[in-house]
Each structure stands twice: as structure tokens, then as C-alpha cells.
Chains A and B, each alone.
Chain A
């Protein structure tokens, strides 16, 4: 009998009322969160552990620095008169030419600049380290003996990684907004469709886009978590995840492989700009979120199958 079966059986067993994965009498209330994760304690602990690591803070610092650098570069290039240097308009990341007119566009420019490499790299590091890092530190065996429960620990790790995706995206967005407000004028936003919306609505769009960008990373997060269950070395898992990301990005850039492009997780990433249209254009964004959900389901299941049947010898 595999351990996966064992866990399921234990969960269905009435003699196991304290089963972490399928708590019957939830101590903190009837919410689904409590039934699945056995209370918010481990999740909160996981979040604290993630953000208290020096490495995490350094990565977030790098992410926060990117919009500042872009902002300064744009400012220097355009001089002090506040007009865009349209001679270079066709080059560089999307939205960069609008930044001088409206600092809010630095948010979109910074997200467009970090989404292909920086953001997923940071998420890959955190996701790859999730299980493998605990294994190489030896803390995994104590968590499991505590007993955290394998399914519960994996769910908590994935939930934490998703929260980190949002945190990383918001770090870029907030840093970009602050830099943009400081260096450039703010005001009404001209959408891609050419209409104007108020600054307030522009801010809401920025928030919405941040959520979509964060959700775009869910597939990679699941992939990283799966890799993390395969090895006992945190560094190896992080390197593999980031390596896979780079490989997929390269495959996505080869025109001869067009047939497989729609199945690669970064394929629809840049569709978030459709949310700057008037009215909102959801088609590609929806396809992106659907693709992420498929990746999350496939690699999440693979991670679960692998982790729940694995011998922990580290």
C-alpha cells in the first residue's frame, strides 16, 4: 500500500479526529481553511519564516530596485522638460514612453519589465526551496514528526508560495508607483484604446493588473514545488526551477516551435496589458489564468503524489 493510500484511509477513518488534512471538528471555526489546513497556525508560521529569511528580503529588495532604475533612466533620458523623447519610442519595454506623461505608467512598465525574468526567478527560488530547503536543513523530518502531515504541509507551502507571488508583484508595483509619483506627474490615464479614465480608476486597474500578474506565476510556483519534492537539496531545486523557466522562455522565443507555444506557461503572461483597454478585454487574460490553473493542477498533483510516498531520509 502506498503512503498516499494510507493517508487517504487515515483521513476517512473515524478514529482520527485530529487528522490535519481533513479535520472534522475544527478548533477555530467551520471554515474550509480550518478543515483543510488544520488551523492558521502553520500557515502563519510559514509566512513569517519565508519573509524573515535574509534571502527573501534581498530578492524583494532587487525587485523594488528595478522600477527605481527604470524611472531614473527614463527621467535622465528625457531631461527636465517633462516631454517624452519619442525618438526612442519604439524600443524598450512596453509602456515606457507613457511614463513621462503619467507616473502611474511606471507600474505597468515595471511589471512588463520584471514579469519575463525577474519575478518568476524570485518565485522559482522560493518555490524550489519550499520542501527541498527544509529537507536539506533537516527540519523537514521534525515538521513531519510534529506531525504537520504531508498533504497539509504541501498545501501550506503552496499557499505560502502563492502569497509570496502576490507579495513580490506588489513590491514591484508599489515601488514603481512611489518612484513614478516622485519623478513624474500623475493624472488621468490614457488607455490603450485611446480613451481617458480617471487617475482613481487607473489605480484600480493597476491593482487588478498586479493581481493578474501574481496569478500568472501560479503555474511556475506549482512546477517549483514539484521540483522541490524531488530532491533533498534546496540549491539544486532552486537552480532546476530557474533553469526550467529560462528553458521555457527560450522555447517560447523560437518561431519554429509555434505549435507548442500556447502550452508553455509564460505564453499569455503579457496579456495583462489587455486590462488597460476600454472596455476591458478578458480573452487572453482568461486563457492565461486557465493555463496557470492547469499547470497548478498537474504539477500540484505530481508534487502531492511524490511527496506523500517519499522516504524522508534527510
Chain B
């Protein structure tokens, strides 16, 4: 098994006729930390729900941990930990009792080791001091941690985390990120959906981008970021001259930030020619104080694919 999640033509059309997911071919390699990106309403959560057997696909097939879903859900799901659209808890139960409840729901969980599993999961997310408190008194961050603890009750082959750092303070986000890295180091594949691009860039090895139910791209994060072309940036007080010269050299999309003393543009070809650009600028009397290619971030790649702004897809 080299893929943990594999879908072919996975499609969901809701009863109203709305096409939520359109012929999705997703491939999540084993051992990866996979970032699942897309604007609100792009079909991410519907996809996750189909993979977890909560929603029945209209067409297409999906395999999770090598087995077809929803056919083999009973053998697949005990090996999957999931946090879907935020935590859901029984407010009148303590944190510990909430986890016990979810552990009871798993028929493969051994009742004799239940208490130990719950204690270990609480400890793993740092909730031990609040374990006896009623869940309704928890802050959003604590609820999120408890939801994560439920996903970590068993050793899992796959963790599906929908917006896992939602509602956490920066300290909490860091903890969750290091927890994800730790889990990935243990060999757990993590499927992570997030709006926070820097978060994806920090922890993910692979990513996929969805928009309006379609998969726009998927692959290693480094490749995706590299696909968005870097921009040439020149730092100089002579912004006007620099812009004129760059245009003459074939640089397109030149923009001038006179106050900041910066000129940026898209270089026409291979980076090898760039040293010549610098020489041309200096020969043209431009006082060059900084010169180089600004590497594109995942955010640039994302915006390039989905358009500016996190608009809700209609």
C-alpha cells in the first residue's frame, strides 16, 4: 500500500442538484502530512465526510487505508482518527467521560484498557488538569484539544484533521503543529484541511487545492510553491529609471513602489540571464541596493490557482 487515500471520479451531488464535489481524483501518499486547501464551500468537508462514510458518494470510488469505502468502513474506521468540522462534545459530561463515551462506540476497543487509553489521550493533548471539568465549561481551544484527544484514542494509520488549530491561541497552535509532526514521525499519515496557508507550508509535505468542487492541483508542497514563479525585486532609490530599464529588458508586469524604493516584475525567462539584468541596471546609472528573485510562497501558488480573496464559492 503506497497510498492511504485514493479516490477516482469521486462525485457528490446533493438532493437540491448542487454539485459539491466533481470527479475528484485524490492521491494521498502513505506517511505524508497532506494539506487539503480550498476556499469555503469548495467541497473539502463533503470530501472528508464521504471518506468517513457519513455521506454516500453519487459516483466514483474511494479507498482508505487500502480498502474500499463505504464498503469496508467497519475495518477501516477503527484505524482512522478524525476531527471533522470542529469538536462535538456532551456538555454535561466531563472531558474524561466524553472520551470514554467515544471509546465505547468503537467495538474494536478493549474495555479493559479503556481507562488507560483515555488517560493517555488526555495527557497527549495537555488536558489532564481539566479532565474532570464539565465539557460545557471548556474554552473553544480546550474543546478542540478534547476533539483531538478523541482522534488519538487508538494508534491510528490515518488522522483526518479538519481545521485542527481553529480557536487555539498561538501557543496552542504551536503545540498542535509539533504534535502533528510527532505523529507523522511515528508513521501516521495526517490529512489536514486548513485555511491557514503558512500552517500548511510549515507542517505539510504534500498538498492539494480544491475550488468549486474540483481538484485544481496536488503534489509535494515544494513543487506547488515552485510552480508559482518568483518575482524579480530590485531595491533602489532610482525607481523610475529602474522600471524603464527593466521593461526594455523584457520584464513584464513591472510595478513600482516609489516610497519603499522597490521595483518588482516577472522575469522573462531563465534565472541565468538575471546577472545580466543587474549589470544593465548598474550601467544605466541605477543605484542598485538589492537585487534578487523573491521565492514564491504557497500562498502565491494558492492565489494564482483560486484567484484573489477567500470568496465563498457560489
Interface residues of A (CB under 8 A from B): 2-3, 6, 9-10, 13, 15-16, 18-20, 23, 27, 38-39, 41-42, 44-45, 49, 52-54, 137-139, 141-149, 152-153, 309, 311-313
Contacts and interface: CB of A to CB of B under 8 A. Distances in A.
A18 B74 contact: yes
A146 B111 CA distance: 14
Contact of A142 (B92, B102, B107): B102
A233 to B, nearest CB: 15
Contacts of A9: 71
Contacts of A138: 85-86, 88
A311 B111 contact: no
B2 to A, nearest CB: 21
Q: Please list the 10 inter-chain residue pairs (A to B) with the smallest Cβ-Cβ separation, ordered nearest first.
A: A138-B88, A38-B107, A146-B105, A147-B77, A45-B104, A148-B105, A20-B107, A312-B54, A41-B104, A311-B55
A54 B54 contact: no
A44 B104 CA distance: 9
A3 B107 contact: no
Contacts, number: 116
A139 B88 contact: yes
A131 to B, nearest CB: 14
Contacts of A39: 107, 111
Contacts of B70: 3, 6
B80 interface: yes
A149 B78 CA distance: 11
A149 B74 contact: yes
A191 B56 CA distance: 59
Contacts of A52: 92-93
B16 to A, nearest CB: 12
B88 A149 contact: no
Contacts of A6: 70-71
B75 interface: yes
B72 A142 contact: no
A203 B80 CA distance: 53
A139 B88 CA distance: 5
B54 A19 contact: no
B67 to A, nearest CB: 8
A10 B106 contact: no
Given A137-B90, A145-B82, A313 B105 contact: no
A18 B88 contact: no
A283 B110 CA distance: 47
Contacts of B104: 41-42, 44-45
B235 interface: no
Kindly name the residue among B49, B56, B82 whose own CB sees the greatest number of chain A CB atoms within 10 A: B56
21 contacts: A3-B56, A19-B74, A41-B111, A45-B104, A53-B92, A54-B92, A137-B89, A138-B85, A139-B88, A141-B54, A142-B147, A143-B105, A145-B53, A145-B82, A146-B106, A147-B77, A147-B78, A148-B105, A148-B107, A312-B49, A312-B54
A9 B92 CA distance: 37
A309 B78 contact: no
Given A6-B71, A147-B77, A139 B89 contact: yes
A53 B136 CA distance: 13
A9 B101 CA distance: 28
Contacts of A49: 90, 93, 101
A115 to B, nearest CB: 29
Contact of A18 (B100, B103, B107): B107
Contacts of B49: 141, 311-313
A39 B111 CA distance: 9
Nearest to B154: A146
Contacts of B101: 45, 49
Contacts of B217: none
A18 B108 contact: yes
Kindly name the residue among A41, A54, A139, A147 whose own CB sees the greatest number of chain B CB atoms within 10 A: A147
Contacts of B120: none
A153 B107 CA distance: 11
Given A3-B56, A9-B71, A152-B107, 17 more contacts: A2-B56, A10-B71, A41-B111, A42-B107, A44-B104, A49-B90, A139-B88, A142-B105, A145-B53, A146-B77, A147-B53, A147-B106, A148-B107, A153-B105, A309-B56, A312-B54, A313-B54
Nearest to A138: B88
B107 A23 contact: yes
